[in-house]
Structure 1
Amino acid sequence: MDAGLAAVLGALAGSVATIGAALATGWAQREGARITARAEHRRERREPRQSVYKVLISEASQLRDSSAPFAVHPDLYPVFEEEPEARWRQLVTAIKEASTDAALAGPPEVSEAAISLSRGASALLAELCVYNIVDEDGQRDARVRLFLQSQEFDSSVTVFIIAAQAALDDDGSRK
């Protein structure tokens, strides 16, 4: 091989290496920018989600606490000093609104848990209202249904809390 050909091949190899390095650098910069943008997007999504989830958990916890006497045992007779049905209706309405917000905030696992929580609140309200109007013969059956529904609602609150925690802790490395 003569010196001219060696010089041309050397220059060609240098050019290819420079182009490869430029492509690799460009790819790394784009990847770094994408990672930074994704992290910022997750942070921006996390803050509103947290406040939406917090509202739903607060409302659901109030209903759970209000109906807790029914979740102890079906043979116990909770006695209320005042008529709680209006308060229960108010809480269920608030839960439905908050669960819609939580379902829209996502992700899908939280949306499913929020929808289930809302349905559970409505079912609990229905049982609470039936309990208030049944005669003495139907009291035992109404208490058993209310006992079971109270426990199911309590479970759905827990499921929502766990799903919300997982969503807030997700750093994007899973999937």
Structure 2
Amino acid sequence: MNASKVGAMDAGLAAVLGALAGSVATIGAALTTGWTQREGVRITARSEHRSQRREPRNSSYKKFITEASRLRDLAAAFTVAHAEFPYETVDSVFAGRCEIATRTVQETWVDVALAGPKQVSEAAAKLERLSNALAFRILGLHRLVSDESRMLTDRALDGIKDVIAGEAEEFDRTLDVFVLLAQAALDDDGTL
């Protein structure tokens, strides 16, 4: 072959290879652009979903905390160490207020449990169970205190009061944990 044919062949091959390289680069750029756009849409959709969930969560958490705080404040009377606990304060009005507060905790915990996330739901379920225990014991104590023919000694009443105090303190600690978990859930923007 002569030198001009080899040069022409090299130029033609170079042109074909250049066109092929350009095509591969264009396809690569198109794939990268498509992936980047798809990821951007996915991130935007996820962010929008979290945003839409935040307000209902905020509302249900706030209502639950308000109701649980009401019960915590009522039960706090048992945590104060009195030499002579004023059992006469555990009257029908006080017992009724505790029962209503417990009922509202029970009514609002379902919304919190459904709103999630899991850790918040678990803490809400624990508070609901503790509220049941508190109400049951406070109502029982009220019946014992209001019974004129009661056979319990002051020492036995103090024992019941101490059990209620322990449950009230656990309720208080669990409510504090719930608040921190709820704050973390509301602050989660999905970037972690």
Query: What amino acid maps onto 2:176 in structure 1?
Result: T
Q: Is the 8 A contact 2:57 2:112 kept in 1?
A: yes
Alignment equivalent of 1:162, drawn from 175, 180, 186 = 180
Query: Normalised by the size of structure 2, how large is the TM-score?
Result: 0.85
SS of alignment partner, residue 191 of structure 2: coil
Distance (Å, rounded) in 2 between the aligned partners of 1:22 and 1:149: 63
Distance (Å, rounded) in 1 between the aligned partners of 2:73 and 2:21: 75
| 1:74-89 alignment runs, 5 A limit | 75-78=83-86, 79-80=88-89, 83-89=93-99
1:133 maps to: 143
Alignment equivalent of 2:134, drawn from 106, 124, 127 = 124
Higher mean alpha-carbon deviation, 44-53 vs 136-145, is at 136-145
Please, which runs of 5 or more residues in structure 1 have no aligned partner?
none
Query: What amino acid maps onto 2:111 in structure 1?
Result: D
Q: Is the 8 A contact 1:74 1:144 kept in 2?
A: no
Alignment equivalent of 1:69, drawn from 66, 73, 77 = 77
1:9 maps to: 17
Q: Does residue 35 of the first structure (1) align with residue 43 of the second (2)?
A: yes
Higher mean alpha-carbon deviation, 11-20 vs 68-77, is at 68-77
Residue 44 of structure 1: how far off its partner (Å): 0.3
Instruction: Calculate percent identity across the aligned residue pairs.
Output: 51
Q: Does residue 153 of the first structure (1) align with residue 171 of the second (2)?
A: yes
Query: What amino acid maps onto 2:93 in structure 1?
Result: E
Residue 82 of structure 1: how far off its partner (Å): 6.2
Query: What amino acid maps onto 2:67 in structure 1?
Result: E
Query: Normalised by the size of structure 1, how large is the TM-score?
Result: 0.93
2:3 maps to: none
Query: What amino acid maps onto 2:66 in structure 1?
Result: S
Please, which runs of 5 or more residues in structure 2 have no aligned partner?
1-8, 145-149
Query: What amino acid maps onto 2:160 in structure 1?
Result: A
Choose 1 or 2 for highest CA Rg: 2
Q: CA RMSD, aligned part only?
A: 1.6
Distance (Å, rounded) in 2 between the aligned partners of 1:151 and 1:61: 12
The 1:30/1:120 distance shift into structure 2, 3 A limit, reads: same
